[in-house]
Structure 1
Amino acid sequence: MKVLMVLTSNDKLGEHDEQTGWYLPECAHPYHVFKQAGTVEMVSASPAGGKAPVDESSVDASKEDKVSMDLYKDEAFKTFTEETKKLSDVKGDKFDAVFVVGGFGTMWDLPENADLQEIIRNTYEQGGIVSAVCHGPCALTQVKLSDGNFLVKDKKVTAFTDDEERAVERIDKIPFTNEQKLMEVGAVYTKRAAWSAHVVVDGRLITGQNPASATGVANAILARSSGTVY
Structure 2
Amino acid sequence: MSKRILIVLTSHDDLGGVERTGYYVPEAAHPWQIFTKAGFEVDVASVAGGRPPRDGHDPDDPTQAAFLATGLDDDTARLADVNTAAYDAVLYAGGHGTMWDFPDNPDVARVGREIYERGGVVAAVCHGPAALVGLTLSDGSHLVDGRRVAAFTNSEESARGVADVVPFLLADALTARGARHEPAANWQPQVVADGRLVTGQNPASAGPLAERVVDLLA
Q: TM-score range by the shorter chain?
A: over 0.9
TM-aligned CA deviation for residue 41 of structure 1: 1.1
Residue ranges of structure 1 left out of the alignment (5+ in a row): none
Aligned-pair identity in percent equals: 44
User: In the alignment, does 2:2 pair up with 1:7?
Assistant: no
Who is 1:23 aligned against?
Answer: 24
CA contact (8 A) 2:84 2:115 kept: no
Higher mean C-alpha deviation, range 91-100 or range 213-222:
91-100
Tell me, in whole angstroms, the C-alpha distance in 2 between the residues paired with 1:209 and 1:137.
Answer: 9
Who is 1:150 aligned against?
Answer: 142
Tell me, in whole angstroms, the C-alpha distance in 2 between the residues paired with 1:87 and 1:66.
Answer: 28
> Scaled by the length of structure 2, what TM-score is found?
0.95
TM-aligned CA deviation for residue 92 of structure 1: 5.0
When residues 92 and 127 of structure 1 are mapped into structure 2, their CA distance, relative to the original with a 3 A threshold, is closer
What amino acid is the match of 2:6? Answer: L
SS of the equivalent of 1:173 reads: coil
Tell me, in whole angstroms, the C-alpha distance in 2 between the residues paired with 1:123 and 1:112.
Answer: 18
TM-aligned CA deviation for residue 35 of structure 1: 1.8
TM-aligned CA deviation for residue 204 of structure 1: 0.2
Count of aligned positions: 216
TM-aligned CA deviation for residue 172 of structure 1: 0.4
Stretches (4+) displaced over 2 A:
62-68, 91-94
CA contact (8 A) 1:91 1:115 kept: no
CA contact (8 A) 1:91 1:116 kept: no
Residue ranges of structure 2 left out of the alignment (5+ in a row): none
> Scaled by the length of structure 1, what TM-score is found?
0.90
CA contact (8 A) 2:191 2:200 kept: yes
When residues 17 and 163 of structure 1 are mapped into structure 2, their CA distance, relative to the original with a 3 A threshold, is closer
1:86-165 equivalences under 5 Å are: 86-165=78-157
Tell me, in whole angstroms, the C-alpha distance in 1 between the residues paired with 2:84 and 2:8.
Answer: 15
CA contact (8 A) 1:129 1:206 kept: yes
TM-aligned CA deviation for residue 66 of structure 1: 3.7
